[in-house]
Amino acid sequence: MAATMIDCVVFGSLWSKRSVKELFDEVPRTKTWLEILAVLAEVEAEYDLIPADAALLIAKVCRTLTVDDEFLEEVRCGREESGHSTQGLIRAIQRRLTPNSARWVYSGATVQDVTDTWLMIALREARRILERDLEEVDCALAMLARRHRDTVMAGRTHGQHGLPITFGFKVAGWLAEVRRHRRRLREIAARMDVAQLSGGVGSLSSLGPRGLDLQRQFAERLGLRAPVVSWNTSRDVFAEWCTLLTLVTGTADRIGHEVYNLQRTEIGEVKEGFVAGTIGSITMPHKRNPEIGEHLGTLSRIVRHLGAAMLEGLVHDHERDGRSWKTEWHAIPEVTMLASRVIELLKGLASSLEVDEVRMRANLEASGGFALSEAIMLALAPQLGRDAAHRLLYETSIVARERDQTLIEAVRANAVISAAFGEGELELLLDYTFHTGLCGAMVDRVLAEEP
pLDDT reported for residue 386: 86
CA pair distance 259, 251, nearest whole angstrom: 13
What is the average pLDDT value for the chain, to the nearest integer?
Answer: 90
Cβ burial 242-278 (10 Å sphere, 16+ → b, else e) = bbbbbbbbbbbbbbbbbbbebbeeeeebbbbeeeeee
Torsion of the alpha carbons at 259, 262, 268 and 270, rounded to the nearest 10: -40
Contacts of 109 (CB under 8 A, 6+ apart): 37, 40, 197, 199, 206
Query: Rounded CA gap, 19 and 367, in Å?
Result: 48
Residue 398, pLDDT above cutoff 80: yes
Q: For residue 160, give the 3-state DSSP assignment.
A: strand
Which positions ≥6 away from 130 have C-beta within 8 Å? 20, 185, 248, 339, 340, 343
Q: From the candidates 203, 281, 305, 418, which is the catalytic residue?
A: 281
pLDDT given at position 427: 74
Query: With bands split at pLDDT 50, 70 and 90, how would you rate the model's confidence at 273?
Result: confident
Judge whether 316 counts as a catalytic residue: no
pTM value? Answer: 0.91
Query: Binning pLDDT at 50, 70 and 90, where does residue 278 land?
Result: low
Helix (H/G/I), strand (E/B), else coil: 142: helix
* 281 classed as catalytic: yes
CA 73 to chain centre: 35
**What angle (nearest 5°) sits at the alpha carbon of residue 115, between those of residues 109 and 120?**
115
Band (431; pLDDT cuts 50, 70, 90) = confident
Please compute the mean of the pLDDT values over residues 315-324 and round it to a whole number: 84
Give the span between the Cα atoms of 152 and 357, in whole angstroms. 8
97-112 confidence digits (pLDDT tens): 999 999 999 998 999 9
Q: What distance in Å separates the CA atoms of residue 295 and residue 259, rounded to the nearest whole number?
A: 12
pLDDT at 317 exceeding the cut of 70: yes
pLDDT digits (tens, 9 = 90+) for 337-393: 999 999 999 999 999 999 999 999 999 988 877 777 788 888 888 888 889 889 988
Alpha carbon separation from 356 to 153, 270, 336 (Å, rounded) = 10, 6, 35
pLDDT tens by residue, 209-227: 999 999 999 999 999 999 9
Q: What are phi and psi of 42, to 5 degrees?
A: -60, -45
pLDDT of residue 282: 57
- What's the confidence (pLDDT) of residue 279? 52
